[in-house]
Structure formats: structure tokens, C-alpha cells
Amino acid sequence: MDIERAKEPVDPTDTPDIEMASGLCQSWHRRFRRFFTAKQLYECLRPVFHVTYIHGLTSFYISCDSKTGKRTIKKTIFGYINGIMHIAMFVFAYSLTICNNCESVASYFFRSRITYFGDMMQIVSGCIGVTVIYLTAFVPNHRLERCLQKFHTMDLQLQTVGVKIMYSKVLRFSYMLLISMFLVNVLFTGGTFSVLYSSQVAPTLALHFTFLIQHTVIAIAIALFSCFTYLVEMRLVMVNKVLKNLAHQWDTRTLKAVTQKQRSLQCLDSFSMYTIVTKDPAEIIQESMEIHHLICEAAATANKYFTYQLLTIISIAFLIIVFDAYYVLETLLGKSKRESKFKTVEFVTFFSCQMILYLIAIISIVEGSNRAIKKSEKTGGIVHSLLNKTKSAEVKEKLQQFSMQLMHLKINFTAAGLFNIDRTLYFTISGALTTYLIILLQFTSNSPNNGYGNGSSCCETFNNMTNHTL
């Protein structure tokens, strides 16, 4: 009977369960792929702007039209209220830490006159810095919108020269930035407070809030800046590829006459795909000039938006790096006579990790800016290479105009115009860091009680330091 039943044909009514299960798997797989796929500019930036909207750094988010599927910027009243509430909470929390004898994580590891002064400086700079980041990110939102509009315009023009934008790469890049910064922030914060609690130290709720949110706000601002520099870098690579295609055609002598219609090469790289289009060389150069002009305008607008945020982040990072390096060096050199519940390994590990965290913040800013600047510098060499190869008077005139444009329009990122954000900043920070470390170490060695001793309050300690210095 069992054999006969096995040979019987399968009942068709049993198959819908299997088909339904496979259909659900395909549906989830499709949704998962859609989560990492973008076809529009605003769509590829939606994760970053959702995070900035939740944390009150922007008053808008990326919305989607259910009928057309088009992504647009949507401003809300909640965005403005949310930003104001975040600023008020930060100021209140920092005020509580100052009133609580300048409470900070570093103060729980050991106390000295220099650490009192360093803690007070870090708390005040953190309060002012986070407030400045919020105000400079929240108030001039129109510059951010204008910058996005310029990117949208240049993307439309890039399509006319046969460039298909790979927005999915920007989307994955934004996911990678947000996830990595979130993990680093959570691991560092969790590790720090676990060490404190393991030594029976109970920080206040205000310290938890200020410590976590300061790192979070800085990380989000850096992620947003990195996304915009990545957009600038992508489009500069695309313009350079278009010009290189012309040079390749002239090198291979596929261009028989300068007035003949051109076909750009089909090329696939990490940023974009060049489709086959028909264009005249003079038209391609003219459109490349217009796209380059838009890229420079977008970069200048982004620099105006981020300039004070970058100055604030770099200043906070430099201040923390100076004092953390001083604490570590003082301990390793054997000059420290601190009384603490923590072991030397825990002490050095915490301050070293915090110093490395802010070094990564500075490196992320500098490298993102430097990559965009280096890509823009390559355009001039390609244009002059074309200028040496062409024999057409019309094309040569366009290339000369392009060369003049490159001389007057350059991509540059600065911190409020005080210093350029490129790799020269490493040397500047290294020199300043060395100078301040020598001053702090000399101050400790010249102090009558070796610079240590518990102070009753921040104000009294600061007055004693001032009188000692004078």
C-alpha cells in the first residue's frame, strides 16, 4: 500500500504552499536588494538625511511619492522643533556637568590641577562646539539644498555626454560610513562606562548624555561631509573619463576629421558607466566645462555649509588629543603620582583609544577633502594633453577656455578660511601638538608638588594655576 501511494501522482492542491514559500523568499530578496539600490540622487542620500533629521541637524528629510516613486526634500515643523530641543538638552546637560565640579570621564581616572583645567576646557569647548555644529548645520539648510540642486543639474548634463550615474555606490558608501561610525561609537562608549562601573564608579546621567551625544553629533557631521566630498570626487572622475575618452580616440586615430561625429568609448569603472553616444568634440568639451563649473560651485557651496562645523570638530579633536597625549606620556614616563582606582593599563588604554578616535575623525575629514582636490588637479593635465593633440581651431579654442577656467575655479575646502583642509594639516597639527605637550610637561616638572593635589573646585584650581603662572 505504501509503495502504491508513493507512485501516485502529487495532488496539485499541495503545491501552492511551496509556491507561496518561494514567492515570499523572492519578495524578501527583492526588498533586500532594493534597500541597497538607488536610482536617484536624493534616494542615495536618504540614510544620511534620515539620521541627521532624527538628531535635529537638518529640518528636512528625503520623502518618496507613492505614485511616481520620485524622491524629494520635505521640510517639517517637527524638524525645527527637534533641532531647538536638542540644543536646549545639550546646554542643560553640559551645565549640570560643570555644576557637578566639572565632571568628566577623565576626572574619574585621576585628578590634578592640569586635569581640572583640561576637564573644564573640554567641557566648555564641547558645549560650545556641539552648539555651533547644530546652529551651523540647522540654520543654513538652504545652502545644503542649493548644493543638492547643483548636483542634480550636473547629473542631467552628464547624461548628455553619455554618463550613467551609479547612485547605488553612493548609497552603499553612506551605509558603510554610518554603520562603521555607529559601531565605533557604541564600542568606545560601552567599553568606557563598563570600566567605570567595574571599579564601582557611578557617573551621573548628564555625563552619560554629554559623552555619548558629543561623539554621535561629531560622527554624523563627518559622515555627511564625507558623503558630499564623495559626490564631488565621483563627478570629477566622470569628467576626467569623458576627456580621457577623447584623448584615447585621438591616440588610436579613430577620429578621421574633427568635424566628424564622435562615439565615446564604452567604459565601466568604479563610479560610472559610459554609454555609447554621438557627439562633436567641441560640444563634449563645452559640456564638460559647464559640468566642471557646476562641480566647483557645488563644492564651494558645500564648503560654506560645512566650514564652521569642520573648524569646530578639528578644534575639539585637537584639544582632546593634546590632553590625552599628555596624560599617557606623563604616565608612561613615570612622572605620574596619581591616586586612582584604575590600573595603569586601563588608564593608558582609555586615553589612547579616545586619542585614536579623534585622530580618525581628523583623518576622515582630511582624506575626504584631499581625494576631491587631487581629482580636480588631474583635470588640468588631461586638458593640456588634449590641447597638444588637437589640430582643430574650434576645439583648441574650447580647450584654452577650459584651461583658463581651471586656473580661476579650483576646489578647496577650508575651516572658516583659517587653514586649508588637506594633508598639510597633518604637519600643522603635529607641530602644534609637540609644542603644547612640551609646555604641559615642563609645567608639571616645575610645579612644587609635581602638579598634583586635589582641588576643591574648578574655579579655585584655575585661579591657583593663574597665580602660579604669573
Q: Is residue 264 part of a domain?
A: no
The beta-carbon contacts of 462-467 under 8 Å, at least 24 apart in sequence, are 462/116, 462/117, 462/120, 464/113, 465/113, 465/114, 465/117
DSSP 8-state class, residue 422? S
Q: What is each CA distance from 125 to 38, 101, 131, 157, 351, in whole angstroms?
A: 39, 16, 10, 44, 18
The answer to whether residue 24 is domain-embedded is no
Query: Is residue 15 in some structural domain?
Result: no
Q: Tell me the C-alpha to C-alpha distance, in Å, between residue 75 and each of 53, 70, 141, 148, 301.
A: 10, 16, 10, 15, 20
pLDDT at residue 334 in the model = 66
Give the total number of structural domains in the chain. Answer: 1
pLDDT of residue 271: 39
Domain contains 461: no
Look at residue 273 and give its three-state secondary structure: strand
Q: Per residue of the chain (470 residues), give pLDDT as tens.
A: 444 444 455 454 454 454 445 555 556 656 666 777 878 888 888 889 999 998 888 888 888 776 776 778 888 888 888 888 988 888 888 888 878 877 777 777 766 666 667 667 777 777 888 888 888 887 788 888 888 888 888 888 888 777 878 888 888 999 999 999 899 988 888 888 888 888 777 888 888 888 888 888 999 999 999 999 999 999 999 889 888 888 777 766 544 444 444 444 334 343 343 433 456 788 888 888 999 999 999 999 999 999 999 999 999 999 889 988 888 888 777 655 555 556 777 778 888 888 999 999 999 999 999 999 999 999 989 888 888 888 888 888 888 999 899 888 889 999 988 999 999 999 999 999 999 888 888 876 655 554 444 444 444 443 444 444 43
**Would 376 be classed as within a structural domain?**
yes
- CB burial of residue 196 (10 Å; 0-12, 13-18, 19+): buried
Dist. CA 170–CA 371, nearest whole Å: 15
What is the reported pLDDT for 32? Answer: 63
Q: Is residue 184 part of a domain?
A: yes
Whether residue 19 is contained in a domain is answered as no
pLDDT for res 305: 92
The rounded distance, in Å, linking the Cα atoms of 100 and 193 is 18
Residue 295 lies in a domain: yes
DSSP state of 124: H
Residue 110 φ/ψ, nearest 5 degrees: -170, 160
What DSSP assignment string belongs to 173-242? HHHHHHHHHHHHHHHHHHHHHHHHHHTT----HHHHHHHHHHHHHHHHHHHHHHHHHHHHHHHHHHHHHH
* β-bridge partners, 112: 452
pTM of this prediction? 0.81
Exposure string (b/e) for 22-45, b if CB count within 10 Å is 16 or more?
eeeeeeeeeeeeeeeebebbbbbb
Pick from 144, 192, 173, 462: nearest CA to 303: 144
* Cell representation of residue 257: 576629421
Domain of residue 317, residue span: 37-254+280-446
pLDDT at residue 470, as a whole number: 39
Give the integer Cα–Cα distance in Å for 53 and 91.
19
**Nearest CA-CA partner of 120 in 402, 439, 455, 444:** 455
- Residues 6 or more apart whose CB falls under 8 angstroms from that of 382 comprise 240, 243, 244, 247
